[in-house]
Amino acid sequence: MPSAEGSRGQKGWKLGSGSPPPLGPGRERPERGRAGPRCQDPQADSSISPLPHLESKIQQTHSLARLLTKYAEQLLQEYVQHQGDPFGLPGFSPPRLPVADLSAPAPGHAGLPVPERLRLDEAALAALPPLLDVVRRRQAELNPRALRLLRRLEDAARQARALGAAVEAVLAALGAETRGPRPEPAAAAMAAATATAGVFPAKVLGLRVCGLYREWVSRTEADLGQLAPGGPA
């Protein structure tokens, strides 16, 4: 990042005293007569290519997805710990059901064009927050003292929203169409239903939602990796 020190940052050099000493690598020179570097609007000057901005955006979103993949894994581990065995045991494998408005990435997902994959990623990330909220509310009844789990579920909903918005911005920057009007989420109906459903099915449903969250952020990370500098695209 450019230093904001300006004249203060250089020993023995004062503003307007002549040629400034050479700067170290990676540092931009502030404009003469101004207090420090300023952020230029890349679109104000049409000679500046939008490509570095897009690359930077993709890189940032990819990094975010990588971080959230790690968090999603931690959420899943925390979740199974509080449901008790057999949740979390190596052989435990409840049926992987489709959840309303959301299913796991299809086997053919990786074969789609990158913009289409990102559209599907964005749609899934938009569907996840209300589902995570439902799971959090049910877990607040089942595990009221599991404060870290409840906080992770709340954070996951927020993070899914943020990653979805970032992917949507990348799609817009690529000039790709984003999804059309989104259907009303079925989360409200799901919330009412899970409130009356048995505890074991509610635990399984929560596991499914946490698993889907992990699958989709991981999928998003992989798809963005195709576009990030150094990726195949």
Partner 1 sequence: MPAGRPGPAAQSARRPPPLLPLLLLCVLGAPQAGSGADTAVISPQDPTLLIGSSLQATCSVHGDPPGATAEGLYWTLNGHRLPPELSRMLNASTLALALANLNGSRQQSGDNLVCHARDGSILAGSCLYVGLPPEKPFNISCWSKNMKDLTCRWTPGAHGETFLHTNYSLKYKLRWYGQDNTCEEYHTVGPHSCHIPKDLALFTPYEIWVEATNRLGSARSDVLTLDILDVVTTDPPPEVHVSRVGGLEDQLSVRWVSPPALKDFLFQAKYQIRYRVEDSVDWKVVDDVSNQTSCRLAGLKPGTVYFVQVRCNPFGIYGSKKAGIWSEWSHPTAASTPRSERPGPGGGACEPRGGEPSSGPVRRELKQFLGWLKKHAYCSNLSFRLYDQWRAWMQKSHKTRNQDEGILSSGRRGAARGPAR
Q: What is the widest separation between alpha-carbon atoms in the chain? A: 78
Is residue 207 within 8 Å of residue 79, measured between CB atoms?
yes
Return the residues of window 146-165 that contact partner 1 according to CB under 8 A. Answer: 146
CB of 52 to partner 1, least distance (A): 43
Counting contacts by CB under 8 A, is residue 183 touching partner 1?
no
3-state secondary structure of 102: strand
Counting contacts by CB under 8 A, is residue 85 touching partner 1?
yes
Q: Which stretch binds partner 1 (CB under 8 A): 28-36, 82-90, 158-166, 223-231?
A: 82-90
Binding-site residue total for partner 1 (CB under 8 A)? 35
Q: Give the span between the Cα atoms of 72 and 198, in whole angstroms.
A: 25
Q: Which of 68, 190, 210, 212 binds partner 1 (CB under 8 A)?
A: 190
Helix residue spans in the chain (DSSP H): 51-83, 114-142, 147-174, 187-196, 199-227
CB of 170 to partner 1, least distance (A): 31
- The CA-to-CA distance between both ends of the chain, in Å, stands at 27
Q: Which of 4, 100, 106, 110 binds partner 1 (CB under 8 A)?
A: 100
Q: With left for phi above 0 and alpha for psi between -120 and 50, is residue 3 left, alpha or beta?
A: beta
Q: Which stretch binds partner 1 (CB under 8 A): 53-61, 66-74, 139-147, 168-176?
A: 139-147
Q: Give the span between the Cα atoms of 218 and 182, in whole angstroms.
A: 23
Q: Which stretch binds partner 1 (CB under 8 A): 2-10, 25-33, 52-60, 79-87?
A: 79-87
Counting contacts by CB under 8 A, is residue 197 touching partner 1?
yes
Counting contacts by CB under 8 A, is residue 57 touching partner 1?
no
Q: Is the dihedral of CA 202, 208, 210, 216 positive or negative?
A: negative
Counting contacts by CB under 8 A, is residue 140 touching partner 1?
no
Q: Give the span between the Cα atoms of 210 and 19, in whole angstroms.
A: 59
Q: Which tokens go with 89?
A: 């045991």
Q: Which of 117, 136, 203, 219 binds partner 1 (CB under 8 A)?
A: 203
Contacts with partner 1, residue ranges (CB under 8 A): 82-87, 89, 91-97, 99-100, 142-146, 186, 189-190, 193-194, 197-201, 203-205, 208
